[in-house]
Structure 1
Amino acid sequence: MTERASGTPPLLVLGKVRQILECFSVEEPDPTLQQITRSTGLPASTCQRLVHNLVREGFLDRDGDRYRIGMAFVRWAAPGTVGRDLVRLVRPVLQRLRDETGETACLYVRDGAFRTVVAVAETRHVVMRLFKVGMVMPMHAGAPGKVFLAHDPTARADVLAEGLRRFTPHTPVDVAVLDAQVEQAGNDGYSATFSERHEGVGSISAPVFDQAGELVAVLGIGAPTQRVGPADVDRLAPAVVAAGAAASRALGFRSATELG
């Protein structure tokens, strides 16, 4: 039963908000208030009031006399995008990585100073490190965070603002140490860390890029250091890097070599 059929009157203001939001597109991402008013056909005073309210609530951002979809709105929409696109396309890659390495493979996205697990292909080993969808972890401790920091220039400020909390004796809590690890991750194309967030746990991670070449996620494996330790990096890292490249291709990314 629709709202109209149930007798519930529609909220007319939502229709007007929808009209305003439909003024934003890839081709026209930052219209002026005058353009929005003209496109919607709303009275100028109504349009101005609604646009200003949308800015205040984070739905829109303002830069001079132009407006863009707000970053808060983008963040709110991210779970829907992840659920429909990123996870669906990358899940087969995670499963292959799990089968090839024998270890749990995870996909992470970033939210400020934290990373969240959005997909898991679980190892069949009896002894394992438990990862669950929805787990939230700090960026500075563990291999996935190093990869985010290496490829997302906005991540460092968020991490430093949150602070470098110590979880184990191996957690990087010195900014210079963290920066050196991040630089190495960028140079190597992957990161490998051990016992930074939990004692006895190792992880190896690589970046996932979208068709525009932007970092959208990080994938990797995690396991007890008996199976994923420093001596195993040369054996396992190429598989993780290849999985990151395969996931990127699934999202439409093409390297300079592939583009010819």
Structure 2
Amino acid sequence: MEWTDLPEVGAVAGQAAAKGKSVTSRALNILGAFDAGHVKLTLSEISRRSDTPVATCHRLLGELLEWGAVAKRGNHYYVGHRLWSLGLLAPVEKDLKTIAGPYMQDVLFATRQVVNLFVLEGQHALLIERFSGTAVGKPVAQVGDRLPLHVSAAGKVLLGYAPAEVRAKAFASLIRRTPYTVTEPGKLHRQIQEARDNGYALTREEQALGTSGLAVPVLNGSGQLLAALGVVFIGPMREPERVIPALQVAAAAVGREIGSLG
């Protein structure tokens, strides 16, 4: 069955929430129900989060399942492997991950801490690559996770270079992840400005208790932001003055190589 932009035949009053939407937009809303805090969902949860009638949701999930956009285990649905495979084809991910990988390994060797690479995606910081050793404990975030921009060092770096409309939306939704998450707009604005001025951002237990973050921007030759390269410390932050230069050297090398690709 092919998707079409025509309204479904036989729509009833109970489907008023979906009225006027194309099948494609409904399917995208269903996929949009998944996020870093909701990686597995039941049919009823997807229906509620996507504002899609249960019957319509069940039918579309069947088509998405067949295509590989979602997977199912028991009563729960997950994002499917085919979407992930498509995401890896995006130039920003493919080029950045390929080029940044060796430099991230260097930072890992120098710091013995988790090394992350984030890009700006809408109102979130998207984790596209992660390197860690064997003694850093349980990861705070996994590749593919999307974090609110204000809770992490990488997110604050991204906010420092983000368009005004992105900043405005981020400031309108300052959720608290821990007791130490900065949700006061004035303080957050100062931190973002300091990150831009100093060339790095620091956080302590804002995303998860017991962790600290340090991140620097990855810029191209024109000073445009490509990504944020960061380190997560499990426990107290140790010798940030030694880690900052290592991150900055790696970020500059990544920016140069990306620039050479045009």
TM bin (shorter chain): 0.5 to 0.7
Say which of 229, 245, 249 aligns to 2:252.
Answer: 245
Gaps of 5+ in 1: 1-75, 254-260
**Deviation sequence 1:162-207 (CA, Å, 0-9, x none):** x000111211111101001001101110011110011111111000
Write out aligned runs for 1:1-260 (5 A): 80-154=90-164, 155-161=166-172, 163-226=173-236, 229=237, 232-252=239-259
Which has the higher Rg, Structure 1 or Structure 2?
1
Given that 1:150 and 1:185 are in contact with CA atoms closer than 8 Å, whether structure 2 keeps it comes out as yes
SS of residue matched to 2:202: strand
Q: 1:104 to 1:126 in 2, by over 3 A?
A: closer
Gaps of 5+ in 2: 1-85
Given that 2:113 and 2:136 are in contact with CA atoms closer than 8 Å, whether structure 1 keeps it comes out as no
Offset at residue 88 of structure 1 (A): 0.8
> Identity over aligned residues, as a percent?
29
Given that 1:116 and 1:136 are in contact with CA atoms closer than 8 Å, whether structure 2 keeps it comes out as yes
The 1-side partners of 2:234 and 2:128 are apart by 21
Name the amino acid aligned to 2:174: L
- Taking structure 2 as the reference length, the TM-score comes to 0.61
**Deviation sequence 1:56-88 (CA, Å, 0-9, x none):** xxxxxxxxxxxxxxxxxxxx9896113431111
Name the amino acid aligned to 2:92: V
Q: 1:206 to 1:126 in 2, by over 3 A?
A: closer
**Deviation sequence 1:26-75 (CA, Å, 0-9, x none):** xxxxxxxxxxxxxxxxxxxxxxxxxxxxxxxxxxxxxxxxxxxxxxxxxx
**Deviation sequence 1:236-256 (CA, Å, 0-9, x none):** 222122221121112127xxx
The 1-side partners of 2:132 and 2:106 are apart by 11
Given that 2:118 and 2:128 are in contact with CA atoms closer than 8 Å, whether structure 1 keeps it comes out as yes
The 2-side partners of 1:196 and 1:146 are apart by 11
- Taking structure 1 as the reference length, the TM-score comes to 0.62
Q: 1:130 to 1:168 in 2, by over 3 A?
A: closer
Q: 1:81 to 1:114 in 2, by over 3 A?
A: same
Given that 1:194 and 1:225 are in contact with CA atoms closer than 8 Å, whether structure 2 keeps it comes out as no
Aligned residues: 174
Given that 1:151 and 1:186 are in contact with CA atoms closer than 8 Å, whether structure 2 keeps it comes out as yes
Q: 1:102 to 1:176 in 2, by over 3 A?
A: same
Q: 1:252 to 1:177 in 2, by over 3 A?
A: same
**Deviation sequence 1:78-128 (CA, Å, 0-9, x none):** 961134311111111111111111111111111122111101112232535
